[in-house]
Amino acid sequence: MIKTTFLAAGRSYELDIRPEGSGFHIRNGDRTLDFSFRAVGDDRFELQFPDRTVTIYAVGDGDTRWIAYGGRTYELRREPPARSRRSGSADPTEGALRAPMPGQVRSVEVAVGDPVRKGQALLLLEAMKMEIRIQSPHDGTVTALPVAPGEQVEREQVLVEITKN
């Protein structure tokens, strides 16, 4: 199960997301939603619910996604996971970017020692038939790159480490 928090229209939504067959089971408090989806274009997806199918358009940048549906656009922003709760110790991987879900590394665009800019694409991860671009959260230098193209990764596995400049 993946636990994540999204901000939308100024409200925070804590979601439990569980892949189920070819779809997902999402829970927000006592509300649940089951659906599957398939890509039907570069940014176009069909969401298949038990009672209907809808087409949405979705694009993203970093932790922000814009979803267009029914003539309206919705902005969803994923909140970063909470910091380590170990008392008295700094998080040794503070500059670590982790896999948001299990998947396969499709390409790596940087090498250890490379300078990077905020928003720069670092690597491409494929997960559940989606491509997820992992981008630098700040200017810095790549200090570790423990993954390679073709490698399978687990959720929360460190993909790249960056020190801030």
What's the pLDDT tens digit per position in 22-81?
788 888 889 998 989 888 988 889 999 999 999 998 887 777 788 888 888 777 777 655
Q: Does the pTM of the predicted model rise above 0.75?
A: no
Q: Kindly report, as residue ranges, where domains of CATH 2.40.50.100 are found in the chain.
A: 96-164
Residue whose entry in the numeric block shows the structure tokens 């298949």: 48
Q: Which CATH class is domain 2-78?
A: alpha beta
**pLDDT higher at 22 or 142:** 142
Q: Kindly report, as residue ranges, where domains of CATH 3.30.700.30 are found in the chain.
A: 2-78
As a dihedral over the C-alpha atoms of residue 26, residue 16, residue 104, residue 157, rounded to 10 degrees, the angle is 180
Q: Are 59 and 39 in contact (CB under 8 A)?
A: no
* Backbone dihedral angles phi then psi of residue 150, each to the nearest 5 degrees: 90, -15
Residue whose entry in the numeric block shows the structure tokens 């909470």: 82
Half-sphere exposure of 131 (CA within 13 A, CB side): 13
Q: What is the CATH number of domain 96-164?
A: 2.40.50.100
